[in-house]
Structures are given as C-alpha cells and as structure tokens.
Amino acid sequence: MTDFLVIVALAALGAAVVGLPAAPAVRALRRRSVALSLFAVAALAVAAMAAGTVAVAQAMFLSGHDLGVVMAVVAVSGVVSLAAALLFGRRIAAGSRELARSARTVGSEGGFVAPGEPPTAELAALSRALEETSGRLAEARERERALDASRRELIAGISHDLRTPLAGLRAMAEALEDGVAEDTARYHARMRVEVDRLAAMVDDLFELSRIQAGALALTLSRVSVYDLVDDALAGARPLARASGVRLVDGGVVPLPVRVDAQQITRVLGNLLVNAIRATPEDGTVAVSAYRAEGRVVLAVEDGCGGIPAADLARVFDTGWRGGPARTPRAGGADGGGGAGLGLAIVRGIAEAHEGRATVRNTGAGCRFEVELPEAGPARAG
Ligand SMILES: Nc1ncnc2c1ncn2[C@@H]1O[C@H](COP(=O)(O)OP(=O)(O)OP(=O)(O)O)[C@@H](O)[C@H]1O
Ligand SMILES: [Mg+2]
C-alpha cells in the first residue's frame, strides 16, 4: 500500500515539474486558435505522463531496457493523442470559421444560412441562436416595411382628402370675391361646413399621432358608463336624425369605470358616427353597456349588413376605409366618408386605458365592442 502511495506521489511530482512551467504557456494560448490550445493541452498531458513515468522508473531502479520499453509506449500513445488533438482542433476551427462566415449573413436580404453541421454542441447552439436572431430581424424588417407602406398610404390619402375641401373652399372664395355667387349665405354656410370638416380631420390626425407616439395623457376619473353613453348619444343625435337612423338604448347598466371621460366619449362618438353612416335609412343603431368577466363592455351595433370577412381584420388600421358601396351615407348627411382615422383612434384610446376594441358581424349588421377595466370600489372621502 505504501509502495503504491509512493508511486502516486512520485508520478504527481514528475507531472508537476513538467506541468507547472507549461501551464502559463497553455494560458497564453487561450486567445489563439482552439486547434493550437487543444494541441498544447495534449502535449502537456503527454509530457506530464512521460515525466511521471521517468520519476517512478528512477525511484524503482527500473532497468534501462524496461524504461526504454515504457517510454516507447508513452511516446507512441503521445504521438497518437497529439495527432488526434490536432485533427479535432482543426475540425473545430474550420467549423468556427464557417459559422463566422454564415454569421455575416444575419440581417442580409436572404437571411441567415446555417452551416452544414457544426462540429460541437456549443457551435450548434450558437448556430441555432443566430438563426432565431435572423428570423426576428426579418420579422422586424417586414413590420417596418408594412408600417412604412401604410404611413405612405395614409399620407397620400390624407393629402387627397385635404385637397378636395380646399379646392372647394378656393372655388367658393373666388366666386364670392368675383361677386358671381348668387346665394352668398349658402356659400358661407357651405364654407363653414368644409372648414369644420378640415378642422376635424386635422384634429383626428393630431390625436392619432399623440396616441401612436404614446404621448396621450389620460385624465382619469371615476364616472358611470351611463353618463358617457348619454353624452355620446346627445352628440350623435343630430346626425342620426338627418340620416333617418334610430338610436336605441340596448340596455345600459350604470357601471362605474375609471377612465378619461372626454376620450371615451370620443370613442363612443366615433363608433356612433360610423354606425349611423353605415346603416341605411330607417335602420337602427343600438348602444349597450354591461359587465362581462370583470370588465365593462360598451357595444355599438348597427344595421350595415355586415362587413366583408376579409375587411374585418383591417377596419382598425390607420387610414383604412371601406369602399363606397359599404358606406351608404358617403357624401351624405355628415358631409361624406372620413379619412379612415376614427377606428384607429378608438383602438388607440381603448388600449391606452388597458382595454381593447373589437368588431364582429351579427347578421343584420356589425357590432363594435370596447372593453374597459371596471373601476374598483369608491374610496371613502
Ligand atoms: N359600424 C360600421 N359598419 C360598417 N362598416 C364600418 C363601420 N365602422 C367602420 N366601418 C368601415 O371601416 C372603415 C374605417 O372606419 P374609420 O372610422 O376608421 O374611418 P372612416 O369612418 O372611414 O373615417 P373617419 O372616422 O376618419 O372619419 C370605414 O370606412 C368603413 O368602411
Ligand atoms: Mg369613422
């Protein structure tokens, strides 16, 4: 037993005598190629083994012949392990180089092209991570592109919408200036309507840009949805009357909500104007408010005949508007179809309140719902 311990101690000593001075060299190679590092580690292992063997052989007074045999075995296995380390290291280095080349394709048009088969699990994981990053980048770029396109479309649409009333205003102003307008009072009234429309459009644009910039400052207060609906209905009644559409109470439960009353009145106003515009004469638009799953739901249901399924997902998009066939009152009682901003504002305001806005067809028409969080119990005082 003691003999055995002595052998172990001698082998360790021999290995330490060679290994300790070599350790800094291995450390210095840390930042060099992995092939070189592997080779150095294998060389260190072989040298330590040889030194340990020599130390043990000396102490045990092994014959020169026996030592020669042992050293020959050590030398052969050393050569084999060094060759294996070199080969393996070169494979890892080549795999790393290939992955580095592939990594340059992250963010390119074609996307990341993963190398054939990475030589180690770590490189394979890195390759997968790069693939995921590349996928996310492509998605972000696609979103950016879509956003850019819709922004361009919106600007084109708005410019067109602004140009039409402006041209009308200029024509009317010129007619008044030249004294060729017969019914000047009618001209003035018409100009007033156009200016109001322009102002409303600019106001919507401003509101939307604030919402999209996240700069909408809400003034929250505890109000009853009953009052909110009442205010919105009062605002929509003249348009409904002029359009021959009945506004009906579909059941409004007086639930408390903590919202920016002005903004939610605007939401309801936008929904009501849309519903009235989309409903044919003699049709009805119903407003309701109720509690569902701990949320307060405000719903506006119209008689538009349904929105085509393909359009349902787009109605809330900024600047999107349906064709004239679906808006019976375009150019009618309220001075025509809008700029496609109303529902984007509805959704933006709902989301700013941590709520959401949705739409679905109901058969005779469609139903827009705005979900808001219910106000907690009133605080005393
Ligand atoms: N209640 C509804 N019934 C049927 N279609 C609707 C209804 N509300 C909106 N839509 C369709 O969705 C489109 C987008 O509505 P949105 O309110 O965003 O814009 P708009 O009413 O056209 O213009 P704006 O609201 O800016 O004056 C409308 O053009 C219309 O085609
Ligand atoms: Mg609208």
- pLDDT tens track for 302-351: 999 999 999 998 999 988 888 654 344 444 445 556 788 999 999 999 99
- Regarding beta strands 366-373 and 356-361, do their DSSP bridges make them parallel or antiparallel, or are they unpaired? antiparallel
Q: Which two tokens stand for residue 251?
A: 């059941």
SS3 call for 370: strand
Q: Which two tokens stand for residue 132?
A: 């995921």
Report whether residue 359 contacts ligand 1, using a CB cutoff of 6 Å: no
Q: What is the pTM of this model?
A: 0.69
Q: Which two tokens stand for residue 180?
A: 């060729």
Is the CB of residue 360 less than 8 Å from the CB of residue 306?
no
Is the CB of residue 300 less than 8 Å from the CB of residue 245?
no
* Cα 215 to ligand 1 centroid, rounded to whole Å: 24
Ligand nearest to the CA of 322: 1
- Atom of ligand 1 at shortest distance to CA of 344? 18
Is the CB of residue 225 less than 8 Å from the CB of residue 257?
yes
CA dihedral 211, 201, 343, 240 (to 10 degrees): 140
Q: What is the pLDDT of residue 7?
A: 83
The widest CA-to-CA distance across the chain, in whole angstroms, is 132
**Sheet of 356-361, strands arranged across:** 246-252, 284-292, 295-301, 366-373, 356-361
Instruction: For residue 364, report the phi and psi dihedrals to the nearest 5 degrees.
Output: -75, -25
Q: Which two tokens stand for residue 111?
A: 């996307």
Report whether residue 306 contacts ligand 1, using a CB cutoff of 6 Å: no
Q: Which two tokens stand for residue 316?
A: 């809330």
Tell me the mean pLDDT in the region 225-229: 95
Q: Which two tokens stand for residue 71?
A: 């050293």
Instruction: Name the pLDDT band for 380 (thresholds 50, 70, 90).
Output: low
Q: What is the pLDDT of residue 336?
A: 56
Q: What is the pLDDT of residue 34?
A: 83
Residue of the CA atom closest to atom 24 of ligand 1:
338
Report whether residue 337 contacts ligand 1, using a CB cutoff of 6 Å: yes
Read off the DSSP letter of residue 366.
E
Instruction: Name the pLDDT band for 246 (thresholds 50, 70, 90).
Output: very high
Residue of the CA atom closest to atom 31 of ligand 1:
322
Is the CB of residue 44 less than 8 Å from the CB of residue 36?
no
Residue of the CA atom closest to atom 25 of ligand 1:
342
Separation of CA 308 from chain center: 27
Ligand nearest to the CA of 315: 1
Bridge partners, 256 (sequence order): 224
Report whether residue 322 contacts ligand 1, using a CB cutoff of 6 Å: yes
Mutational test site, ligand 1, from 161, 317, 343, 361, max ligand atoms within 8 Å of CB: 343
Ligand nearest to the CA of 203: 1
CA distances from 276 to 177, 244, 330, 367 (A): 37, 9, 11, 12
Read off the DSSP letter of residue 374.
B
Ligand nearest to the CA of 319: 1
Report whether residue 339 contacts ligand 1, using a CB cutoff of 6 Å: yes
More confident residue, 253 or 215: 253
Among the listed residues 278, 249, 237, the one whose alpha carbon sits nearest the alpha carbon of residue 361: 278
Separation of CA 334 from chain center: 37
Q: What are the tens digits of pLDDT across the range 175-186? A: 999 998 888 999
Residue of the CA atom closest to atom 2 of ligand 1:
275
Report whether residue 207 contacts ligand 1, using a CB cutoff of 6 Å: no
CA angle 258, 346, 239 (to 5 degrees): 105
Q: What are the tens digits of pLDDT across the range 247-305? A: 999 999 999 999 999 999 999 999 999 999 999 999 999 999 999 988 999 999 999 99
Residue of the CA atom closest to atom 13 of ligand 1:
321
Residue 226 pLDDT greater than 50, yes or no: yes
Q: What is the pLDDT of residue 162?
A: 87
CA distance 241 to 275: 13
Around 191, how many Cα atoms within 13 Å sit in the side-chain half-sphere?
15
